[in-house]
Structure 1
Amino acid sequence: MSKQPRIAVIGAGLGGAAAAALLQKSGFTVDVYEQAPGFSRLGAGIHMGPNAMKIFRQIGIEQPLEAMGSHPDYWFSRDQDGEYLSRIALGAHARQEYGAAYITVHRGDLHALQMQAIAPGSVQFSKQLASLEDTGDEVRMTFTDGSVASADIIVGADGINSQVREHLLGFEAPTYSGWVGHRALIPGHKLKAFDLDFEACVKWWSADRHLMVYYTTGKRDEYYFVSGVPQAEWEGGAASFIDSSQAEMYEAFKGYHPTVQALVASAETITKWPLLNRQPLPLWSRGRMVLLGDACHPMKPHMAQGAAMAIEDGAMLARCLEATGLGDYPTAFGLYEANRRERASQVQAVSNANTWLRTQEDPAWVFGYDLYGQDLKTESAA
């Protein structure tokens, strides 16, 4: 009896979870390997635009995600004195013009919902990849716990420090961008002490830094901020984040509007994260292995589209494999790159430049994108 063809997804983050759920819906047998021992509701918010929400519609989680998230009517941009730089319509406008809602939500709540859409028993935790071997007929995976598994193809959805990317291209450490991001979650009740207007989605700007602020729940009982601040050196070594403080935030946003000062005063726990970069990759796949999301095209978070690009990648990869069948994965991988490279690279460039929605502009090229409404390009991705 011949064995059942299998796909292995390395990494169960937002992109990997989307890829796994959609590949399973297409009829493929998928195993997901995640190095973390489990998941907790880590303190981070996230934007999900209509382009991503249309993919969640295919997965079957659009409605519960809408129910848990906050629905801003606008993306506001303000200068440090509070003057408006742009008012980008979302809310009902997004549904009408782009075909789905725009929400902001807690990343952990979104992720938990995504994980429920993956077939029970197909996710294995505490599986840190140690090595890969493409034998020609399959890929053999060895994990740091000594266990071994195999699959017909490997999907590297394992982030900016991807072990799959390293296997394909050799070791290259990501570079520090010269920017850090401060993060904090603020209980909504703490804001009631201030006679100020805390908008549902607003980005505060000055010449060389910003603060993005939004609610993470439909009840608006949790308010989140994430900064972008230049810093010459990262003092945290190999740590993915370190503790920060109100004093550091007050210094970074000295002279900003009283609303920003109130946010800092309300933040009980503040962390600081290095923003990392990689050079664009010369390839997205080789042999039986293919990359998506931050493993393939990491970007600064300034456009709030990094996770959406990983989710779009997963959806397009599933479309291409469904079109060709697993037996013709080389054609599927070529289609995938041909249909993703230009868009992902454009979003990466705009995000890294940190210009998105600072002034009044039309966001339709991002939000109006419908991955399932696009004919597959068949030209080579070379």
Structure 2
Amino acid sequence: MTVHPTTPPIVVLGAGPAGMACALSLHTAGHPVTLLERYREARPAGNILNLWPPALKALQAMGVDITDLGAPNHTTFRNAKNRVRADVRIPPHVTEQFGGGFIGLLRPDLYRRMLGSLPDGMLRTSQEVTAIADRGDDVVLTLASGERISTPVLIGADGIDSGVRTHLWGDSPKREHRLHVIGGYTFEPVAQAQWGELPLIHTGTVQGTYSSIRSDDRIGYQWWVLEAWDPRTPAPADLLAHATKLAAPFPGALPALVAATSPENLQRWPIRDRKPLKQWSKGRITLAGDAAHPTSPYAAYGAGMSISDGYFLGQSLAGVDLTDTPTVVGSLQGYEARRLTHTTGQVQQAYILGKVFHHTPGPLRPLRDLILDHTPLLQKQVGERSPGEIIAQLDGMGDGILHPQMR
């Protein structure tokens, strides 16, 4: 590997999961990295979280301790009578290797693990970028403080409102899904809850879900309810009361889990994304995470895809001489090519599932439910396709950041 001692660090903007993953992966690949965060601290934007095995494999390769990071769950899609519509079965060898197929955890726990793995001095907080200029042989950033930073590569991991994305491709409107989620967690014992199970249950208009979580030495459950919501309408004044009302018709443990949740452990977020880009990279600049592919939580995969972005970025730049502009540009395009089709598919599938379950006109809902209950459509689309894609991703990741799959 060629690393010139005078080459400045690669700069990553944004210290969320995508940014930290990019920084850790590039560091593992042997490159110096500076991670810039505009806020005073790197803080999680949310409470509950789930990860699939590819993200766990990526974290482990970056040096993040994934021991007991979360709790394993088996996922099923069910109707309002608790009948299984789709069963997402991950092969045993994968669940054995990564501690489960679908891992439930709290977002602050992931942040602590990733922040704890960053080398001293890599993260700089309170750093707002006001201008970006790709000069061909380097990229120059101007900060609000007046400082100018030269970098051989700029990674925009600065979220759905990414300034780097706007710099590269112009502004694009957010796509409102006209949905919102209320979610929370509890460590109180709930007898009805099935440990290790994640039932995604749909009534005619609402999704209600819970999964097991682990946080340090505590075990508990996270849950969420999702419904159609006009973004022009103010949020419910009492989130717990609203969630309680939505959860009441559901079978099983969901109503009891909501009742056991303290108001401070609740959060609401409206669902929106942006239409997928056809290209992420231009010159020495590229995107990762929500800056590249903001995703509805219907994919249950936004943070996981962001972490995997970082892994593949590190692989693509491993061994690259950062002073060699054509090679850098080609490597960033190669990274993008390995991620674009998969992430675009996930974004679009999440958008479509949200419309199917929550925006089907009332007269058509019985037909929709008849199809979902009595045909293999959902099993093929979700129950079989998702495990197949997970296996393909794990195989495509190779044996580590420095040992990519031969292609």
State the TM bucket, normalised to the shorter chain. 0.7 to 0.9
Task: For 1:310, give the aligned amino acid.
Answer: S
Q: Secondary structure at the match of 1:275?
A: strand
Correspondence 1:365 to 2:388: yes
Match of 2:371 in 1: none
Aligned runs of 1:110-125 on 2, under 5 Å?
110-125=110-125
Task: For 2:154, give the aligned amino acid.
Answer: I
**2:300 paired residue among 284, 289, 304:** 304
Match of 1:380 in 2: none
Distance 1:244 1:138 in 2: 51
Q: Secondary structure at the match of 2:269?
A: strand
Q: Secondary structure at the match of 2:76?
A: strand
Aligned runs of 1:186-265 on 2, under 5 Å?
186=186, 188-189=187-188, 191-192=189-190, 195-200=191-196, 201-217=198-214, 219-235=217-233, 244-257=238-251, 259-265=253-259
Residues 1:99 and 1:271: Cα distance change in structure 2 (over 3 Å): closer
Q: CA deviation at 1:38?
A: 1.2
Q: Does the 8 Å contact 1:153/1:289 carry over to 2?
A: yes
Q: Deviations over 1:284-309 (max 9, x none)?
A: 01122101111111111112111111
User: What number of residue pairs does the alignment pair up?
Assistant: 365
Q: Does the 8 Å contact 2:16/2:44 carry over to 1?
A: no
Distance 1:252 1:300 in 2: 20
Q: CA deviation at 1:100?
A: 6.4
Match of 1:133 in 2: 133
Q: Secondary structure at the match of 1:312?
A: helix
Residues 1:243 and 1:184: Cα distance change in structure 2 (over 3 Å): farther
Residues 1:116 and 1:353: Cα distance change in structure 2 (over 3 Å): same
Distance 1:29 1:303 in 2: 33
Residues 1:222 and 1:91: Cα distance change in structure 2 (over 3 Å): farther
Task: For 2:336, give the aligned amino acid.
Answer: E
Distance 2:112 2:332 in 1: 29
Residues 1:42 and 1:309: Cα distance change in structure 2 (over 3 Å): closer
Distance 1:41 1:331 in 2: 33
Residues 1:365 and 1:324: Cα distance change in structure 2 (over 3 Å): farther
Match of 2:159 in 1: 159
Residues 1:221 and 1:375: Cα distance change in structure 2 (over 3 Å): closer
Match of 2:107 in 1: 107
Matched-pair identity in %: 23
Distance 1:204 1:252 in 2: 12
Distance 2:113 2:405 in 1: 29
Distance 1:267 1:308 in 2: 26
Residues 1:312 and 1:333: Cα distance change in structure 2 (over 3 Å): same
Q: If the length of structure 1 is used for normalisation, what is the TM-score?
A: 0.85
Task: For 1:34, give the aligned amino acid.
Answer: E
Q: CA deviation at 1:331?
A: 0.7
Aligned runs of 1:137-148 on 2, under 5 Å?
137-148=137-148
Residues 1:348 and 1:323: Cα distance change in structure 2 (over 3 Å): farther
Q: Deviations over 1:133-178 (max 9, x none)?
A: 2233322212334433221110001111101001112223423221
Q: Does the 8 Å contact 2:18/2:307 carry over to 1?
A: yes
Aligned runs of 1:266-285 on 2, under 5 Å?
266-269=260-263, 270-285=266-281
Q: CA deviation at 1:2?
A: 7.7
RMSD, aligned α-carbons: 2.8
Task: For 1:76, give the aligned amino acid.
Answer: T
Q: Deviations over 1:51-79 (max 9, x none)?
A: 11211221122xx323232123x223332
Distance 2:137 2:21 in 1: 26
Distance 1:242 1:27 in 2: 49
Q: If the length of structure 2 is used for normalisation, what is the TM-score?
A: 0.81
Q: Does the 8 Å contact 1:43/1:185 carry over to 2?
A: no
Distance 2:164 2:46 in 1: 27
Distance 2:282 2:200 in 1: 40
Q: CA deviation at 1:21?
A: 0.7
Distance 2:91 2:63 in 1: 21
Q: Deviations over 1:327-354 (max 9, x none)?
A: 2211101211221111112222222233
Q: Deviations over 1:331-382 (max 9, x none)?
A: 10121122111111222222223389964722322321224326466xxxxx
Q: Any gaps of 5 or more consecutive residues in structure 1?
A: 378-382
Residues 1:229 and 1:145: Cα distance change in structure 2 (over 3 Å): farther
Distance 2:32 2:236 in 1: 39
Q: Does the 8 Å contact 1:213/1:226 carry over to 2?
A: yes
Match of 1:338 in 2: 337
Match of 2:367 in 1: none
Farther-moved stretch of structure 1 (311-320 vs 362-371): 362-371
Residues 1:343 and 1:40: Cα distance change in structure 2 (over 3 Å): closer
Q: Does the 8 Å contact 2:305/2:343 carry over to 1?
A: yes
Match of 2:373 in 1: none
Q: Does the 8 Å contact 1:335/1:376 carry over to 2?
A: no
Residues 1:40 and 1:8: Cα distance change in structure 2 (over 3 Å): closer
Farther-moved stretch of structure 1 (84-93 vs 225-234): 84-93
Q: Secondary structure at the match of 1:286?
A: coil
Distance 1:80 1:144 in 2: 53
Distance 1:162 1:39 in 2: 16
Distance 1:22 1:143 in 2: 25
Q: Does the 8 Å contact 2:72/2:99 carry over to 1?
A: no
Distance 1:92 1:244 in 2: 42
